[in-house]
Structure 1
Amino acid sequence: MVRNTDDLPREAFNETDMRLQWNKFAQRLSDSGQKILSTYMQMNDPVLDGTTIRLELPNEGSKVDFDSGKHELLGYLRGKLHNHDITIEVHVNEVTSSKHAFTPLEKFEKLKSINPAVETLRKMFDLDI
């Protein structure tokens, strides 16, 4: 039997409802040993835009892994939230947030950014960089 898509539920829901069901599904995956997909789901908070859920992942490999398992998640969310218009979009953000320090000066500046008292110690003991 083929269902008419106009007959499928389209109840309103909010971001809180969506995140609650999202986290329940992630926990269910984790409990059943599907830790990778569960981890991807919990890396960043999903954002709701209408009926589209947007998720940001760190690289293309994680997107491919997530996309291969998202159909079960989509079915779960559509059922629990009673809305069959829900879609999931994955955005890859490969921006690296940390720069590695290599020279002694770069290492010192990195330490100083973490704890400004390092500069006081350097001056107190008349240390070279």
Structure 2
Amino acid sequence: MRLLWNKFAQRLSDSGQKIMATYMQINDPVLQDDGFTIKLELPNEGSKVDFDNNKLDLLGYLRGKLHNHDIVVETHVNEVVEKKYAFTPEERYEKLKAINPALEILRKTFDLDI
């Protein structure tokens, strides 16, 4: 199911529908124990509404490829999932420094600006 999910997301991205592809790749979808329900967590209500309005093509693709016409995709909003993006140079530096603390040593050693 995840393989087909990712293939469809890539297909959307290649055809220019990058927003829908991004929604599909924010979190991994989870197939519930019933074998019919796929749950996807999205970061806010706006993305949930947008995804729900555009999921018919996804459902048709998954139902056809998986030979399971009872599949449904449920979306849930989880505000914690929302990613923070670094826009200013200082924010980018802090994000990189969190990933690799040795960056601060490098900056001090060579007396670099942020």
Alignment TM-score, normalising by the size of structure 2: 0.69
Q: Hey, what does 2:90 align to over in structure 1?
A: none
| CA RMSD, Structure 1 to Structure 2 (Å) | 2.1
Structure 1 CA distance for aligned equivalents of residues 42 and 83 of structure 2: 14
- Identify if the C-alpha distance between structure 1 residues 38 and 79 changes in structure 2 by more than 3 Å, giving closer, same or farther: same
- Identify if the C-alpha distance between structure 1 residues 94 and 20 changes in structure 2 by more than 3 Å, giving closer, same or farther: same
Q: Hey, what does 2:107 align to over in structure 1?
A: none
Structure 1 CA distance for aligned equivalents of residues 6 and 54 of structure 2: 15
Identity %: 76
DSSP 3-state at the match of 1:84? coil
Structure number with bigger Rg? 1
Structure 1: gaps spanning 5 or more residues: 1-17, 99-110, 116-129
- Identify if the C-alpha distance between structure 1 residues 97 and 36 changes in structure 2 by more than 3 Å, giving closer, same or farther: closer
Q: Hey, what does 2:79 align to over in structure 1?
A: 94
Structure 1 CA distance for aligned equivalents of residues 50 and 13 of structure 2: 15
Q: How many residues are matched?
A: 86
Structure 2: gaps spanning 5 or more residues: 85-96, 102-114
Q: Hey, what does 1:72 align to over in structure 2?
A: 57
- Identify if the C-alpha distance between structure 1 residues 97 and 62 changes in structure 2 by more than 3 Å, giving closer, same or farther: closer
Deviations 1:37-75 (A, max 9, x none): 000000000000121000000000000110111011000
Q: Hey, what does 1:23 align to over in structure 2?
A: 6
Deviation at 1:94, TM superposition (A): 1.2
Is 1:84 aligned to residue 69 of structure 2? yes
Deviation at 1:97, TM superposition (A): 8.0
Structure 1 CA distance for aligned equivalents of residues 39 and 8 of structure 2: 16
